Structure 1
Amino acid sequence: MCTRTSDAAAPTEDLAIDATDAAPDEDSGGIDITMINRGSTTCSATGFAGVDIKDADNTSNPIERGQAQPRITTLKPGDAAVFNLAYDIDNTGNSLASPTNILVTPPNETHIVTLEWPARAGDIKGAYTDVEVYPTHTTE
């Protein structure tokens, strides 16, 4: 439970987390990862989440941070925060990436949540090192 002050990180067990395809067009890939505070107190999800992408061959690759400044993200019970993954889409059908899962460690936490790679997400152009994660922000 998130029982600490409003500055405290949201414990992973108090967060409902899911991933959805959020590609803005056919060339730019995007995945929104939403975290909802299902705890009973206000907490923080400020900064960057740790993200690895797990591939069909069962290896995982860490994702680099995008060029953005973290924002203070305070979550009251029931509030949501989102962070984004961004990449270019491979429209050739020759992508070498075969993502199956997204491994998420919420900001200032150590517990990992495994999410399924969204079925409708476009193929990654290049390597997993070409995917970037951006900081959390509120959904309002």
Structure 2
Amino acid sequence: MQTKLTAVALAAIVVAGTAAAAVPASAAPAKAEPTRCHTADLKAGFATGDDAKPEMQQTKKQTQAYIWFTNRSKRTCTLSGFAGVDMIGAQKTDGTWSLARSSKKPEKITLKQGDTVDFSITLLPVAKSTSQKEKFVPAKFLVTPPNETKHFTLEWPFGGQILKQDGATHPGTYLNPVGL
């Protein structure tokens, strides 16, 4: 009888051990990957430090302006792609200009609470003496984070004017992906 009980006890231990071995040690709940940042998660603005200001007074080469996004939410989130940028002009003839995208490939950027990332807008400034129909005078920028539909309205703080190429195939004014 004792041999039978020992055999049953051993069988129970083997079955329990097999069942325990079948559950991997890494069965702890997996940490969820961060989801994309929404407009409500972010704040935005122009970088205005001395090294970030576009050289709008020179007219011989392109220059860059930088727009930043800061994660103001309490969660980690991601941004990937291009922001939508529409410039609204100060002149009656300017209208709205939706900026073209560069050929650069976007990368996925992870933003923890308080982290900031920027993107650049390449601009082609022109002289004040350029005819009105050939220049665009920026007043406001409507900036939509990647994959979102709500935008931020930013006042253009740098002055100057840009060569108007809103219908060009490869304009001298365009935007780069977030993080590049």
State the TM bucket, normalised to the shorter chain. 0.7 to 0.9
Identity of aligned residues (%): 30
Match status 1:13 vs 2:40:
yes
CA gap of 1:28–1:96, structure 2 versus 1, over 3 A, is same
Which structure shows the higher strand fraction?
1
CA gap of 1:70–1:76, structure 2 versus 1, over 3 A, is same
Unaligned 5+ segments in structure 1 are: none
Give matches, 1:1-140, under 5 Å. 5-6=33-34, 8-20=35-47, 22-23=53-54, 26=58, 27-56=61-90, 57=92, 59-91=95-127, 93-94=129-130, 96-120=135-159, 122-129=160-167, 130=171, 131-137=173-179
Structure 2 CA distance, aligned partners of 1:60 and 1:79?
31
Letter in 1 for 2:66: D
Q: CA RMSD in A?
A: 2.2
Give the structure-1-normalised TM-score: 0.83
Letter in 1 for 2:79: A
Return structure 1 stretches of 4+ with deviation > 4 angstroms: none
Structure 2 CA distance, aligned partners of 1:12 and 1:75?
13
Mark the structure with the bigger radius of gyration. 2
Task: Give SS of 1:137's match.
Answer: coil
Deviations 1:109-136 (A, max 9, x none): 110111011224x421232453211001
Q: RCO (CA 8 Å, sep 6+): is it higher in 1 or 2?
A: 1
Q: Contact (CA 8 Å) 1:29, 1:124: kept in 2 or not?
A: no
Deviations 1:81-104 (A, max 9, x none): 101110222135315211110111
